[in-house]
Amino acid sequence: MAKKKLTKKKKWLIFGGGGILLIIMIIASLAKDSTETVQVETEKVGLQTVIHKVNASGKIQPETEVKISATSSAWIDSITVKEGDNVKKGRHLISLDRKQLFANYNSTASSVRSAEARLKQEEASKKRVENMYNQNLASDQELEAVQASYQIAKSSLEQANSLLEFREDELDKARIMAPQDGIVTAVYKEVGEMAVGGMFQAEVLMIIADLKRMEVLVDVNENDVVSVSLGDTTEIEIDAFQDTLFYGVVSEIAHMAQTSAMGQAEQVTNFQVKIRIIDVPKEIRPGMSATANIITDKKENVLAIPIQSLTVRPEGSEKSVFGKGSRSGGKDGEEKPKAKKMEELVFVLADKPGGVLRDGKISELDKKSSKKAKVPKDAKVAHIRPVKVGISSETHYEVLSGLEEGEEIVTGSYRAISKDLSHNKAVKTGDDEKGGKKGFSVAIGTEKDNDEKKD
């Protein structure tokens, strides 16, 4: 009997001890959660110059480029230039076979002489009949007939002269001349080949371009083209010229869009923009690849924050735990919750928990959350601060309202800003955790970079 009682006591001791241990672990866990801090990196808000740029890529081409073609089909007799030659306006470039053209010209010239002779004959007949008519020796019908014959002969001569001018022009165009100064950038035919000419679908024989005036033809996305204006300064990087920056100005913006992958998920709508290059290098060639940064706006001495410090949360997110809200889908028959309005914000460092400064007013601090918020001795807290931003550069946003110069904001890590931080959350910087001097490091980079720094 005593043995059984002893066994019961042992059981109670074991269960009692286990229960006490479990309670201690729960209390410790709660205490740990209430004082958990997030490791962050920060910097002070200051004045900077923010330059907004639109990035686009494309190809280099001459501002003026002439494609040389023949007006009539003929064999090529000679080509007097080669690729790379400098030519002046009016220089002889190509000679076409002119035998048939000469024959046509001579035939038309003979027709002109015949028409002239007939006109003289009709003119003499007309004068003779008119004299006879004045002496009442010719009738009205005879006079009308001779006058009509004269007009027909005169019209025939005009037609023959017009055809002769056309044949002469054909003969002249068999010797193709340079229409402008420039460089021969391409020759597509050889001596002895047929030059297919005509008013429509004529073959290109060669190309002459002015390489002293070059431009970059880039495709700008429809979301960015609205901020691009004629005359905008542009930074140009040419792949063939490493570590060299060229400058240009926007000279033309297309009014018609170019759409690729129409009707597909990858559909892209772009507008072509021409950028004239200033100080064109001698070694430049048409078709080279280039990247352009079009400077559309510039703000000097304005409040600016790093791009990675700005995040988006539902309006009033300080009243709930971020990331643990109700799902958008409800049960059958239940009304789906309305989508909350989103706001752009940053996290500002403070010494103690407090309300949210929104539109110039500070909200009241929730009593329940203030009791739960326990800030470690060496830590600070992060406050939500809604802000309005303006233009952006590659690294910073212009701040229009919501922040003051000198305020401390969280700039990293990406995980902390996008997920871990919430209003009145206790935070520590890298220097504080290591026990070093007080201060805050600047986070510029990705979450991976920041994690490597921690390690």
> pTM of the prediction?
0.68
Asked whether the beta carbons of 432 and 42 are under 8 A apart, the reply is no
Strand (E) or helix (H) holding 262: none
- C-alpha span between 316 and 310 (Å, rounded): 17
For 13-79, what is the HEC assignment?
A: HHHHHHHHHHHHHHHHHHHHHHCCCEEEEEEECEEEEEEEEEEEEEEEEECCEEEECCCCCEEEEEE
Residues 6+ apart with CB under 8 A from 92: 80, 175, 176, 177
Per-residue DSSP letter, 162: H
What is the pLDDT, as a whole number, of residue 386? 93
- C-alpha span between 288 and 275 (Å, rounded): 14
Nearest alpha carbon to residue 57 among 213, 270, 233, 265: 270
Asked whether the beta carbons of 42 and 431 are under 8 A apart, the reply is no
Structure tokens at 348: 């500002």
Residues β-bridged to residue 75: 194
Run means of pLDDT, 10 residues per run, the chain, 455 residues: 52 62 61 67 93 94 92 91 93 92 92 94 92 89 92 94 92 92 93 88 92 94 93 94 93 91 78 95 91 95 94 83 46 53 91 86 68 67 92 93 93 89 85 44 36 42
- C-alpha span between 66 and 79 (Å, rounded): 17
Nearest alpha carbon to residue 443 among 38, 37, 40, 39: 40
What is the pLDDT, as a whole number, of residue 367? 58
What is the pLDDT, as a whole number, of residue 396? 94
What is the pLDDT, as a whole number, of residue 446? 34
Nearest alpha carbon to residue 412 among 329, 327, 305, 318: 305
Tokens 């229960």 correspond to what residue? 19
- C-alpha span between 425 and 409 (Å, rounded): 13
- C-alpha span between 183 and 23 (Å, rounded): 90
Say whether 217 sits in a helix, a strand or coil.
strand
Strand (E) or helix (H) holding 340: none
* DSSP class per residue in 417-453: IIII--TTEEEEEHHHHHT--S------S-HHHHHHH
Burial 350-378, CB ≥16 within 10 A → b, else e: beebbbbbbeeeeeebbeeeeeebebeee
Asked whether the beta carbons of 377 and 370 are under 8 A apart, the reply is no
Nearest alpha carbon to residue 36 among 451, 420, 409, 430: 420
What is the pLDDT, as a whole number, of residue 434? 46
Whether the CA torsion 36, 40, 45, 46 is positive or negative: it is positive
Burial 82-109, CB ≥16 within 10 A → b, else e: eeeeebeeeeebbbbbbeebeebbeebe
What is the pLDDT, as a whole number, of residue 215? 96
What is the pLDDT, as a whole number, of residue 36? 74
Q: To 10 degrees, what angle do helices 99-134 and 140-173 make?
A: 160
Residues 6+ apart with CB under 8 A from 349: 42, 380, 381, 382, 383, 408, 409, 410, 427, 440
Asked whether the beta carbons of 388 and 360 are under 8 A apart, the reply is no
- C-alpha span between 250 and 220 (Å, rounded): 12
Residues 6+ apart with CB under 8 A from 166: 108
Asked whether the beta carbons of 421 and 381 are under 8 A apart, the reply is no
63 φψ region: left (φ > 0), alpha (ψ -120 to 50), beta (else): alpha
What is the pLDDT, as a whole number, of residue 339? 60
Asked whether the beta carbons of 349 and 381 are under 8 A apart, the reply is yes
What is the pLDDT, as a whole number, of residue 149? 93
Say whether 287 sits in a helix, a strand or coil.
coil
